[in-house]
Chain A
Amino acid sequence: MLHFERWKIIAVALVCLAGVLFTLPNFFPKETVEKWPWWLPHKQLPLGLDLQGGAHLLLAMDTKELEKDWLNTLRDDTRRQLREAKVGFTGLGIASGSVQVKITKPEEMDKALEALKKLAQPTGSAILGSGGSDLTVEKKGADTIALTPTPQGMQHRISSAASAAIETVDRRVNALGTSESTVVRQGSDRILVQFPGLQDTKQLKDLIGQTAKLTFHAVHPDMTAEEAKQTRVPLGYKVYPSAEGENRSYVLQESPIVSGEDLVDAQPGFDQRTNEPIISFRFNGSGARKFGNFTKDHVGAPFAIVLDDKVLSAPVIREPILGGSGQISGQFTVDSANTLAVQLRSGALPTKLTVVEERTVGPSLGADSIEAGKLAGLVGCLATGVLTIVAYGTFGVFAVIGLIVHGFLIIALMTVIGTTLTLPGIAGFVLTIGMAVDANVLIYERIREELRAGKSPIAAIDQGFQRAWITILDSQLTTLAAAVIMFWLGSGPIRGFAVTLTIGILTSVFAAVTVTRLLVSLWIKSKGKSRILEVPV
């Protein structure tokens, strides 16, 4: 137990060195670290919002609203389909989560069913292949047909709407200027916005509260944006910048041809003939009519898709789009097709978002918390260290060296993984220092016990490490179980705490068992085995 091979000593030393190296950037200001040579680690531990100040907003989509919208669209589509199929019907309406319609003549039933079944769309993106239908169309009673959204269909809708909403929120939050904001999905219907440094959330909330405005415009037939800027913009036209940047702009008719409310869906996919990425889209009845009329008259001319007053794309109309659904193609990659589809949807499904949770910390409180955390951490570690040295003498010093390694390793691991340091995280850190000593206490108490039982110093040390190891393993594993559950179920502050605790448990075993044992073995070597008469514990 006490013998260390050379390569093991080197390995332990390397781990300790790596710990120090990866922790180092955290002790210096960012500007200094940036000037360091390339071979030194540069990554710093990101501070949580509670330490650096900032806003945390949890937004929820109104899924009931989403379902209602869908059913309304479905009702309109049903009307259109039945009219096109020339089937007589009455009593079209929405009841108990489905669209129901009565077919007047029983002999037209099959024809009606066939027409309505076309409304069902496969769920799952076109790229990934189908995953069942989003609707069930079935006969209910003698003369009624019910169209009911399937759970997968609803899930698909929510998921589509969520990615569209995230896109909208992300675009707007970025427009506020700060670079380090994050917008991520949480669960199926929630969006988490984290905005470091921002304190007044009013502007942010106003921006998020707006619905995305998607419109389709006619492009001026021959005037370019440069010309318009030099002369003047013709009446009824306006210059719109491109979403790609200010350099490119378009002269567009100010009043839109169709607005985003008429767009039902947009999905990325592949052209069946050329296999290139495309975006397929679908309008509702009134949108299809308006868009059909426009494209009929403007074959060969471009039209512009405008989202929040920025031109996303200006495709050329190849042929009239009369049925309400079409596709946009040309020089898309799978990614860019996906992005445009999401952007189209964000205008098509302007989901209402409500703030369900807000946590804002002002920069002054954050700074105070960092100071308090630092001081408490330092004092806590110092107190633990002093106690350990007083209680265990030279071996106590070994334990403290282990603790220092443990402290470095926690910070290094957290830095490398990229966990954010929060105030509860600091508390967790102090606590793991206190708990890491436990392993050493177990070992040293055991050594003392073996000595009292009359064992020789070397045998006592050996037995101490060996016997305590089982206990350490058991006790750390049970704590680990609690930490893992905390991480699994916890949110926000609890999670930060759980991560620190988990990492702390792992490194504390290394520190107490490996590092301390190595130091003890080096100490024995320096004395010479036979000359050790007393254990300084």
Chain B
Amino acid sequence: MFFPIPDFKGFDFFPHNLRLPFMRYKGLCFLLSVVCMAASLGLYFTKGLNYGVDFVGGSLIEVQHKNGPAPLSEMREKLNSLGIGSVQIQSFGSDTDVLIRVEQQKGGEGEQQAAMKKVVDALGPEYAQRRIEVVGPAVSSELRRTGLIAVFASLIAICIYVWFRFEWQFAAGCVLALLHDVLVTVGIFSALGLEFDLSIVAALLTILGYSVNDSVVVSDRIRENLRKFKRMDLTELLNLSINETLSRTILTGMTAIAGIMALIIFGGEVIRNFSFAMLLGIVIGTYSSVFIAAPLLGYLGVKRDTIGNAPKPKDVGPVIAPASSAGADRAKAAARTRSAPSKKAAR
């Protein structure tokens, strides 16, 4: 039978008998993560987030200057004298496009509309309106609430699922990793002063999905290894599981990042923030599943049915960590030529 695709091997870039000692540095990683989370919380409570109109109300108007670059300072002068509070003006994507933000007006729903109209009238026919978003106080407070509920409901749902499929220690690890992802992403948004709107909440929820995906893959391997190596020291077993799944963690991360980079570069100004949040989340999510979710099991311990209660070796066990990339290459070559025996040696 004829098959239209010729056989060719893929490029296996990953040194598979690499055993990076993740567990040895778990204390350091936890410290780093805790510091990051604390810093994010600190930023959130002191600097706060640059909320978009979705969450604080007010108007957002994107206009395009019809003849050449938009005169930003002139616009600023004009719009700030309208008596509608502070008006933020920034160029958006290209020098003809301008984003105007009007803060929420006091007095209720009708006032927001009036302020938006004032801006549009003041700018005159030289500017084409590309986008207008006006959100009143009732809707913005609702969106804020549902956004928050959505994030926490997802966290809880994921946690319950993981608990159901694995054991509570896994769920605890997952939830801590997820909390870490959300907090640090929010912290970075706060630090950089990026606009935080409804689409960022969607990004956060997706990050939760992606990160737990990673954690579940590692957890799955841990569970499998717990059955396979009933007497292996837990720290060693966790380390082995992380290392065994590392190639998939990195490859999947790479393909996801490739897609998101395309969105960031070509997707246009409107979804740039959203794409950026996604990118952050995938990097942070990958980190957390490798450095938080799995190592946490080392602290919490897992129930295992060891037969005969044999004494566990106290030592961390053999660890192979090539000192240089040349070493890694050699190790890879060795793995390819002598598949079966070298595997046993690596273990």
Contacts and interface: CB of A to CB of B under 8 A. Distances in A.
B201 interface: yes
A489 B146 CA distance: 6
Given A368-B268, A430-B259, A445-B247, A60 B138 contact: yes
A391 B213 contact: no
Nearest to A393: B10
B162 A526 contact: no
B33 interface: no
B339 interface: yes
Contacts of B259: 380-381, 383-384, 430-431, 433-434
Contact of A522 (B3, B130, B271): B3
B134 A474 contact: no
B9 A435 contact: no
Contact of B1 (A449, A453, A525): A525
Interface in B220-258: 220-221, 224, 244-245, 247-248, 251-252, 254-258
Nearest to A403: B255
B61 to A, nearest CB: 9
A109 B130 CA distance: 66
A393 B16 CA distance: 18
A481 interface: yes
A334 B221 CA distance: 62
Contacts of B48: none
Contact of B13 (A201, A357, A391, A489): A391
B270 interface: yes
A427 B2 contact: no
Given A362-B130, A471-B220, A373 B2 contact: no
Given A355-B136, A427-B275, A478 B205 contact: no
Contacts of A146: none
B244 A393 contact: no
Contacts of B8: 393-394, 536
B98 interface: no
Contacts of B138: 60, 356
Interface string B1-42: 111011111111100100000000000000000000000000
Contacts of A452: 16, 335, 339, 343
A268 to B, nearest CB: 32
Contact of A486 (B9, B116, B135, B150): B150
A427 B271 contact: yes
B132 interface: yes
A355 B138 CA distance: 11
B146 A490 contact: yes
A452 B6 CA distance: 23
Nearest to B12: A448
A501 interface: yes
B50 interface: no
A373 B201 CA distance: 20
Interface stretch (A88-96, A272-280, A491-499): A491-499
A118 to B, nearest CB: 38
Contacts of B263: 376, 380, 427, 430
Main secondary structure of the interface of B (DSSP, over half): helix
B124 to A, nearest CB: 14
B56 interface: no
Contacts of B209: 478-479, 481-483, 501
Contacts of A430: 259-260, 262-263
Contacts of A485: 150, 153-154, 157, 205
Given A361-B131, A365-B62, A391-B13, A454 B340 contact: yes
Nearest to A449: B244
A365 B130 contact: yes
A426 B274 CA distance: 12
B216 A478 contact: yes
Contacts of B158: 478, 481-482
Interface string A372-389: 110111011101100111
A356 B116 CA distance: 13
Given A393-B10, A395-B10, A526 B136 contact: no
A392 B254 CA distance: 14
A438 B213 contact: yes
A453 B340 contact: yes
Contacts of B134: 355, 357-359
Contacts of A534: 7, 9
Nearest to B267: A376
B80 interface: no
Contact of A391 (B1, B11, B110, B245): B11
A121 interface: no
A437 B109 contact: no
Contact of A489 (B150, B267, B343): B150
B217 interface: yes
B122 to A, nearest CB: 15
Nearest to A56: B133
Most buried by B among A395, A397, A451, A474: A474
Contact of A380 (B11, B208, B258, B271): B258
Nearest to B6: A394
Given A368-B268, A396-B10, A474-B216, A387 B258 contact: yes
B45 interface: no
A467 B220 CA distance: 10
Contact of B198 (A389, A475, A492): A492
B154 A356 contact: no
Given A383-B261, A441-B255, A494-B201, A537 B274 contact: no
Contacts of B47: none
Interface in B149-167: 149-150, 153-154, 157-158, 161-162, 165
A359 B150 CA distance: 22
A493 B202 contact: yes
B267 A373 contact: yes
Contacts of A453: 339-340, 343
A477 B128 CA distance: 45
A478 B221 CA distance: 16
Contacts of A525: 1
A189 to B, nearest CB: 11
Contacts of B248: 438, 441-442, 445
A400 to B, nearest CB: 10
B91 interface: no
Interface string A50-67: 100000001010000000
B3 A60 contact: no
Contacts of A438: 213, 248, 252, 255-256
B10 A356 contact: no
Contacts of A393: 7-11
Interface of B: 1-3, 5-13, 16, 62, 64, 109-110, 113, 116-117, 128-136, 138-139, 143, 146, 149-150, 153-154, 157-158, 161-162, 165, 198-199, 201-202, 205-206, 208-210, 212-213, 216-217, 220-221, 224, 244-245, 247-248, 251-252, 254-263, 265-268, 270-271, 274-275, 278, 335, 339-340, 343
Given A359-B134, A393-B7, A536-B7, 10 more contacts: A354-B109, A355-B110, A372-B270, A379-B266, A391-B11, A427-B275, A427-B278, A478-B162, A482-B154, A491-B143
5 contacts: A359-B133, A365-B270, A445-B245, A471-B220, A536-B7
Interface of A: 50, 58, 60, 199, 201-202, 205, 354-362, 364-365, 368-369, 372-373, 375-377, 379-381, 383-384, 387-398, 423-424, 426-428, 430-431, 433-435, 437-438, 441-442, 444-445, 448-449, 451-454, 467, 470-471, 474-479, 481-486, 489-494, 497-498, 501, 522-523, 525-527, 534, 536-537
Q: Which 4 A-B pairs have the closest CB atoms?
A: A372-B268, A454-B340, A380-B262, A434-B259
